[in-house]
A and B are shown apart, each in its own frame.
Chain A
């Protein structure tokens, strides 16, 4: 063959050129996705951070750099501090109730054979409905004189409660509505996770003596649901942090600021008072919280999660 006459050194530059071409082609293929990522995620984020250190108001002609003044104002503002407190309280209830409630529902529905799809539809309906529209239904249900809930609770001995207008109860009521809305979604995710657990494992557990419900759950179900649980926890955290529509429609932050939440206060500052720079600073804080919590959960759970 002719190859034998070719000096050994000569293929190298050819190879380098080939590799360069390959790298170029790779970059070209990645470019559209990278550009989109920059255009719709990174660029707005940078603009947001830049805005948060200015006093920009929507429509203003002059913009002034104010450094961290917006952040300083935020953390000394009792309204914002209350909003943070309320949001964390809301998350503290909705997150565990949403995750474990979803898991419990999934476990119950999974055990059904014929009625399974019926229950799936029932629990999933709230997810498909528009929360703003459903909120008006809730408003009627919870109305102290028109709705059925107040007399029902009274009959049970709770007294005549005005669930949405009592400062002590309003946030809890919103949290329950929020839970109602996302439970079905979490249930469907857990159902998918449960269906993916190999039947063999349950059978092996049965032979090993782990046949009781508790042992089956602890030895097989719960560990095998690790990846699902992690996903559900993070999505539930994010949606709980972003509680907004029920606040706007049902309480507008009231009574007495008892349901002021982070996103609602942010919305007021940004779109009612047009303090864009200040709202941007709040958004950065909200984002920081979400990133931090997601990272923390990922770290904590990842250590115990097994990906099959």
Chain B
């Protein structure tokens, strides 16, 4: 990414923040491109919410700079940063109608203080005209979110999904340069979450505004984001597209966090000639580690296959079936590999593969598991992923 691309989005440089003695963010850099849907993903306590609040101006960073649309905003209060935020709790004004909630950001900008005071406000001849304009915009936003029928209701009379939309509307109504969202789906039930996920992605596509979205849910991150910044302990572990994070995880930590069920990790040692050994099997990677270096092998559940037809050739491991879970469209086999220490592993099969395997008796103990090339990752002693040498990717026994 070049500087020109990111100049219009949000740029964070060297952001650090401690609460008391606890370091929450440790000198973090991030460039969010204008118009992209960037997700800050990470386990709770990783600093993602704090980072979002620093961008919003609700929290002040100890050091570092926040720039929005190319200008530093560190000295600006939240309202002047041209950002809007959707809170986890929605934070709607409970005493105001939906229309009042949606109108608030505009009233604050377009009416003078005197025109906002109770009673006195009616003295201004200008106010009625301004309010008509505001209400027209409120109505337009409400129609876009299909909540125009709710404008006269109060938040307490709305369902969770409706409240969520009102919160979105309150953010949309002022056409901010950046939308900030702090786990906006976490208070919705599972079915609604899927629906709102689509709507959010759709909204992003329609508005073309920069979205910065905080979540601990990898499904939300994978399905909606242009790019994901995976965070842990106040640092960004990897910044990339959902494909990057899943198929080319930068480190073992990233590989472990992304993907469900999570990948199987086997401890191995380098053989000195660019490969590793798993029991009797040798896997060539073209790495340069000296013989005996401790390495970790990560295997995605779908990288295991049963020797059905074309899958039959490839390095094979023996395993014992512990439990099989039926998820309808797919099966998860929990197995123990026939290696020293009997390490556990999870195998993902499609329903069709499972059916075929059962028909040909491949699910009888001991199982034979074939490793596919895609979804097998090697990690060095520092946890960083070892990029396989293309000349050696063919797996040979």
Contacts and interface: CB of A to CB of B under 8 A. Distances in A.
B127 interface: no
Residue with the highest number of chain B CB atoms closer than 10 Å, among A204, A211, A220: A204
B24 to A, nearest CB: 17
Contacts of B154: 306
A206 B117 CA distance: 17
Contacts of A206: 57-58, 77-79
B170 interface: yes
A207 B93 contact: no
A210 B34 CA distance: 27
B229 to A, nearest CB: 22
Interface residues of A, number: 23
B117 A200 contact: no
Given A200-B89, A203-B87, A207-B56, A226 B104 contact: no
B93 A223 contact: yes
Contacts of B334: none
Interface in B37-91: 56-58, 77-79, 83-85, 87, 89, 91
B206 interface: no
Contact of B113 (A205, A214, A223): A214
Given A208-B170, A209-B79, A198 B95 contact: no
A112 interface: no
A220 B78 contact: no
B118 interface: yes
A168 interface: no
A203 B167 CA distance: 13
A211 B118 CA distance: 17
Nearest to B88: A200
B116 interface: yes
Given A198-B89, A204-B87, A223-B93, A218 B117 contact: yes
Given A200-B87, A308-B94, A207 B78 contact: yes
B323 interface: no
A218 B118 contact: yes
A204 B92 CA distance: 8
A25 interface: no
Given A198-B91, A223-B93, A211 B117 contact: no
Interface in A211-230: 211-212, 214-215, 218-220, 223-224, 226
The size bracket of the interface on B is 20 to 34
A203 to B, nearest CB: 5
Given A218-B116, A306-B154, A204 B91 contact: yes
B95 A209 contact: no
Nearest to B103: A208
B84 A214 contact: no
A209 B105 contact: yes
Contacts of B113: 212, 214-215
Contacts of B78: 203, 206-207, 211
B109 interface: yes
B79 A207 contact: yes
B120 to A, nearest CB: 11
A201 interface: yes
Interface in B175-206: none
A203 B109 contact: no
Contacts of A201: 91, 93
Contacts of B104: 205, 208, 210, 219
Nearest to A305: B95
A226 B95 contact: yes
A219 B170 CA distance: 15
B83 A207 contact: yes
B108 interface: yes
Interface of A: 198, 200-201, 203-212, 214-215, 218-220, 223-224, 226, 306, 308
* Nearest 8 CB-CB pairings of A with B: A209-B108, A200-B91, A204-B91, A223-B95, A209-B79, A306-B95, A208-B105, A206-B78
21 contacts: A198-B89, A200-B87, A203-B91, A204-B93, A205-B93, A206-B58, A206-B78, A206-B79, A207-B78, A207-B105, A208-B105, A209-B105, A210-B104, A214-B117, A218-B117, A218-B118, A223-B96, A224-B94, A226-B95, A306-B94, A308-B156
Interface of B: 56-58, 77-79, 83-85, 87, 89, 91-96, 104-105, 108-109, 113, 116-118, 154, 156, 170
